[in-house]
Every structure is written in structure tokens, then in C-alpha cells.
Chain A
Amino acid sequence: MEVRDDVVDILAGFALFSDLATPELESVAQTLDESWFKADERVIRQGLTGSGFYVILDGTATIRVDGKDRATLRPGDYFGEISCLLGEPPVSDIVAQRPLRCLVLPCERLEEFLVAHPRVLFRLLQGEARKVRNTTRWLS
């Protein structure tokens, strides 16, 4: 049973963790907890406190704002970081479209985690920059 090795292999293929060597990936895999959600189950709930930062290992999820579907998330995508970084409840639901396997880190531990893994922090910043760029393009 090589469950956690499976997680390490999956993480190694994601842009967010692409700079990490195996021992650091193992540390990441052990620091984050694994969760599983059935289709239509809410992962993050709009307006509720105590959420977390999620990385999708397998499956797809919907970003749903005020009941309206906005976008789809796929393996390697992550969510919940804005709520964590701002210390505010999420502004959208994230709902599993089909069985969804994630790693999760509670918001309270995200800062410590990112500071301990600066290459992940840099990749996360790149991801946020892409989101801002895409939003700017959409607005213009």
C-alpha cells in the first residue's frame, strides 16, 4: 500500500510543487491532510469561517457564487488561498463535480507553510498573477 507515495508522485507533476525535491515533497504530503468529497458535496462554503487551502489531486470542482456556477477546477488547481490570505470567509462555494480527492491545509497554517517552502510561495504568486491578468483582460 503506497498511498502516500502516490500523493508524492501526483504532487511532483503539479506546477505549484514543481521546484521541490522528493524529501520536501514528502514533507508537504505529510503536512497536508487528504480529503475525499462525493459528487455535489461542498468543499468550501461561501460565508462560513474556518476554511482552508486546498489542492486538487483528482477530480473536478465548480466555483459557485451565490448559487451560480462560474468556473471549473481541475487536478493541480488550488483554491481557498484568497480567503486564507485575507483572513475572511470564502466568497464562493467550491462544489465537487464528481468524486474529488484533495489535500488540505487549514488557513491558520498557510503562512507558516509558505514561508517554510519559498518555491511554493513563488509558484503560488505566479498563479495569483495569472488570475489578476485574466481578470484585467476580461474587464478590458
Chain B
Amino acid sequence: MVELTPAPFAPGRYPLVVVGSGPGALQLTYSLRRLGIEHAVISADDAPGGMFRRWPIFQRMLSWTKPYAEAERGSTAYERFDWNSLLADEAEHRAIMPGVMDGTSYFPSRPEMERGLVAFAERTALQVRYGCRWESTRLDGGDLVLVTSDGEYRAPIAVFAVGVAEPWRPPVLAVAGVEQYGDLRPAETYADRRIFIVGKQNSGFEIATGLLPWARQIVLASPSPTRLSVDVRSLVGVRARYVQPYEDWALAGGVVVLDASIESVEPREGRFIVTTKSPQDGSALTFDVDDVIAATGFTSPLRDLPQLGVATFGQSRLPAQTSFWESATVPGIFFAGTIMQGSHGLRKHGIPSNSGAVQGYRYNARVLARHIAEEKLGMRLERRRLAADDVVPFLLAEASRGPELWHQRAYLARVVAVDADGPYDDGIQPLAHFVDDSGPDAVAMTLEANGKDDPYPAVYVRAKGPVREKLLAPHPLLDFEGEAYRRELADTVHDALDRALAR
């Protein structure tokens, strides 16, 4: 006779409630548990994985995991080359993804990604109350009350890791029969058909790539020009995996990539008449197509949080957040996972953080867990003391190999601060917090990119006044530990750390 394990986290009051069971929620609950923070985790799904249980629709990820890399698998430095594994302190739970991939591609398939997340949850014995749907929210004194399908959860702190995966379409595409990302038919049913895709970002090009072998013709249209990741040297642009339709257009192979706004979409005898207008000269074009697909972005399922006062912005309706991913307008409500991209940081040179992807938000989760522990729960976490002579080599090693800095450029920084007893490692912090908030004399090391050159270390010094910025030179081999870097960094940090570094 099978003995069923009772579902964990019965409704009731907890110090903290996490909503979700995708990678963002899994990473956060793991990090909270490592700090000994009691909390409940609830999810409407019936197994771990979040959106990766269904998407990407063409079943292979955009983010790579290199089975062989210039760092030993399982080391911290290896994380730079493995964008998909969640982070663990125990060696046996690190770098799970290369172990579940079949070796045919360094982009995991969707089932491999799902398997990796399930393996992480099982091996680290994460507990989630599955099948428990968050339905509504209210404030009651100092508590948030989450009404769920299983009952009410109360907590002074709630973290929502519910993804940004609800397809959004503009009113002009609110026409019966217009499809969207997530509800496409099997690819072969598009055989010999004319397909009009609205949207020229990754999701539009992903669909075009998947349908390229089948379609008679593909048109991709949106008002602003396409940008490619290889041109802008960031993840802002369309990724190389989806560039084939773009090349087809560039070589006049039949695909049309059009800068145009959509004026109208009219169903006609099982087809659609799409009219577009050029932003340059207002000229109109008309297309007679078999299918129209909206690839116009995604929103976050925040339910009634906006009615509670959670400010949102942009087409994705992301919640406005502090540097530590707390709602900018309703204290006690935090966000994890891909929603963290709403905390924009400095966005230097217009390059956003990688907080919208696993390789970015997995680090945010660790920072958030420590922030909640110290700032909300009154815990004091230990800081590692550093010898004065070790500060410069430590910071340069972080710039060369620290995965937080590599994946979250100009967004997360390694901070070394100074008190009466000398320098100490003040951990990974959001750079915007370091630059904008007061604190002890300290140095923050981060990596930055400007969209043109190789990444370069950037140092921020806080010493008796405003924070100063110092950019170090790029290096063709991305090695920042040479003597020239040592000398320049030592000169740069001297002001801030002179008490500690004085010999």
C-alpha cells in the first residue's frame, strides 16, 4: 500500500511565503533554507520547472551550458560557462545541467532543462506545496494575506516568482484566429502557407526559425528595426540561433523583414488581410496571408497586486522595484525569477541586466535571501575578513572569474568595505545600491560592457563623499590579473582603503 506524503506548508502564518516553482522560486527557497529562514513555498503547478515545463515552443533553450570549458565543472568559475544550472553550496549539487544533457547541443533541450530543475529540487530536497493556486491578495495589519485554492497564507513578507510568460498582444491584433506564442499549431500544419509574424524580437524570430522549413512565405513586421546580439554585443538583440530568417531576408531568399506598424488585420474567407504603414514615409502595404501570429511580448501574471498599490510599468507590466527587488510602492512584497528584470539597475550604455534569464536571476536570489535575512529579519550574517594585501588580488580575481560579475554586468558588484578592524568582503551587492545609498568606505568591483568593446572591469570607490567611478582597460583575453591591472587598481582603491592598506 502506497503511503502518501502529506503536502508541506499547510495554510497558516509564516515569516515569509514564496509563490512559484520555476527556477527563480527554486533558487530562492534553496538560498533561504541555507540561511535557516523559515518560509512556505506554494505553486499552482504540480511539479517543478515553471515555464520550462512548456516552453520554448520549439523545445530548445537560448541559453547555453558548455560541457567542456576553461574551468573545472562544478567550480564557481565554471558557472560563467553554464547558464542553466541552479546554484548550490554543496559540490554534489552544482552544475547539474551538463549531467542531464545528451551532448548533441550545448543549448539544452526543453525536456533537459526541465529534468535539470527537477533534479535540483529533488537532490536538494526542496519542499513546495504543489497544486496550490494563489488567487487573490489583501493587506491585513502588517501581514499580506494570500488567498489560495488551499486556504489563506499570512506573512509579513511575500516573494512572487510567477514569471513573465503571459503573451501580450496590442488591440490591433485582438482578432479571432490570430495566434500567439504558446498556442501555435504543430509546425507541419503551416506547410505551404503564408505567415505574417508581428514582432521582430527573439520570440518572433524563434517562430520564424521553426516555421522556415514549412512556410511558403514568412513576413516579420514591427515598427522599429531588428537588432542582432552579435552586432550590439549583448542579449538585447536577436540571438544567433534565430538569425536564419534574417539571413534569408538579407539574401532575398523569400522572407520579408519589414519596419512597419500594423494598421489593420481583417479576416477574409479563412485568410487575413494585413495592412501596414511605414514609419519613414507613411506608405502602406497590404498582405494576403493564411496565418497571423502575434509575437509582441509577455506580461507577468500579477493578479490583484496592482490594485494593492504595486506600481507597474512598460509593455510587460513589470512591477517597479527597488535595488533589492522589493516593490517600490508596497513594502514587504518582493519578486524573484525573471520578474527581477523590473529592477533596472544602472542600465549603463542601455544594456539591461540578465535578470530576465536564469544565469542572471540565480545570483539575484542569493543576494535577496541575504538582504531579507539582514534587513527584514534582523539576522547578522558573517563577513570574511581580508588581509590588506589581499584586497587588490581578490578584486581582480573576481573581475576575471567571478560568475556574478560576468553574468550581471554593471548590475551586481563584489564589495570590499573597511571598518576599524580593516577590510572585509561585504559580499555581492546590487551596483545601484552601492552607488546611490550611503555606507562605509568601500570599493565595488564589477564588469561592464558598452556594446562595442570587450568587457572591462569598472571600480566604484566610496570614500568620504560621492562615489567615484574608474574604468580599467579591456583585455583581449579577458584576463585582468596582470601587473598593470594590479598597479592601477591599487592606486584607485588607495583613497578608500588607505587605513587598511597602509603598510
Residue of B nearest to A29 (CB): B223
Residue of B nearest to A67 (CB): B466
Q: How far is the CA of A3 from the CA of B306 in the complex (A)?
A: 14
Shortest beta-carbon distance from B480 to chain A in Å:
18
Q: How far is the CA of A50 from the CA of B261 in the complex (A)?
A: 30
Number of A interface residues in the complex (CB < 8 A): 38
> Is residue A30 within 8 Å, beta carbon to beta carbon, of the partner chain?
yes
> Is residue B369 within 8 Å, beta carbon to beta carbon, of the partner chain?
no
| Residue in A34, A41, A107 whose beta carbon sits within 8 Å of that of B436 in the complex | A41
> Is residue B190 within 8 Å, beta carbon to beta carbon, of the partner chain?
no
Within 8 A of B (CB), among A30-81: 30-31, 33-36, 38, 41-42, 45-52
Residue of B nearest to A58 (CB): B313
Query: Knowing A36-B328, A38-B322 touch, does A52 contact B313 (C-beta < 8 A)?
Result: no
A49 engages B471 (CB within 8 Å): yes
A26 engages B279 (CB within 8 Å): yes
Query: Knowing A4-B170, A26-B223 touch, does A42 contact B436 (C-beta < 8 A)?
Result: yes
Query: Knowing A5-B170, A49-B471 touch, does A104 contact B347 (C-beta < 8 A)?
Result: yes
Residues of chain A lying within 8 A (CB to CB) of residue B344: 35
> Is residue A126 within 8 Å, beta carbon to beta carbon, of the partner chain?
no
> Is residue B299 within 8 Å, beta carbon to beta carbon, of the partner chain?
yes
A23 engages B277 (CB within 8 Å): yes
A50 engages B410 (CB within 8 Å): yes
Shortest beta-carbon distance from A106 to chain B in Å:
3
Shortest beta-carbon distance from B469 to chain A in Å:
5
B223 engages A30 (CB within 8 Å): yes
Within 8 A of A (CB), among B157-197: 168, 170-171
Residues of chain A lying within 8 A (CB to CB) of residue B329: 38, 99
Residue of A nearest to B328 (CB): A38
Q: How far is the CA of A89 from the CA of B223 in the complex (A)?
A: 31
A27 engages B315 (CB within 8 Å): no
A23 engages B260 (CB within 8 Å): yes
B313 engages A23 (CB within 8 Å): no
Residues of chain B lying within 8 A (CB to CB) of residue A49: 348, 469, 471
Residue-wise, chain B 84-127 has the 8 Å CB interface mask toward A (1 for contact) of 00000000000000000000000000000000000000000000
Q: How far is the CA of A15 from the CA of B315 in the complex (A)?
A: 24
B279 engages A27 (CB within 8 Å): yes
Q: How far is the CA of A1 from the CA of B171 in the complex (A)?
A: 8
Residues of chain B lying within 8 A (CB to CB) of residue A46: 466
> Is residue B133 within 8 Å, beta carbon to beta carbon, of the partner chain?
no
Residues of chain A lying within 8 A (CB to CB) of residue B471: 49
Within 8 A of A (CB), among B287-332: 299, 311, 313-315, 317, 320, 322, 328-329
> Is residue B34 within 8 Å, beta carbon to beta carbon, of the partner chain?
no
> Can you spell out 26 A-B residue pairs with CB atoms less than 8 angstroms apart?
A2-B171, A4-B170, A4-B315, A5-B170, A5-B171, A21-B282, A30-B222, A30-B223, A36-B313, A38-B322, A38-B329, A45-B435, A45-B436, A47-B469, A48-B346, A48-B435, A48-B469, A49-B471, A50-B450, A51-B348, A52-B350, A104-B347, A106-B451, A107-B349, A108-B349, A108-B451
Residues on B close to A: CB < 8 A? 168, 170-171, 222-224, 259-261, 277-280, 282, 299, 311, 313-315, 317, 320, 322, 328-329, 344, 346-351, 410, 435-436, 448, 450-452, 466, 468-469, 471
Residues on A close to B: CB < 8 A? 1-5, 21-24, 26-27, 29-31, 33-36, 38, 41-42, 45-52, 89, 99, 101, 104-109
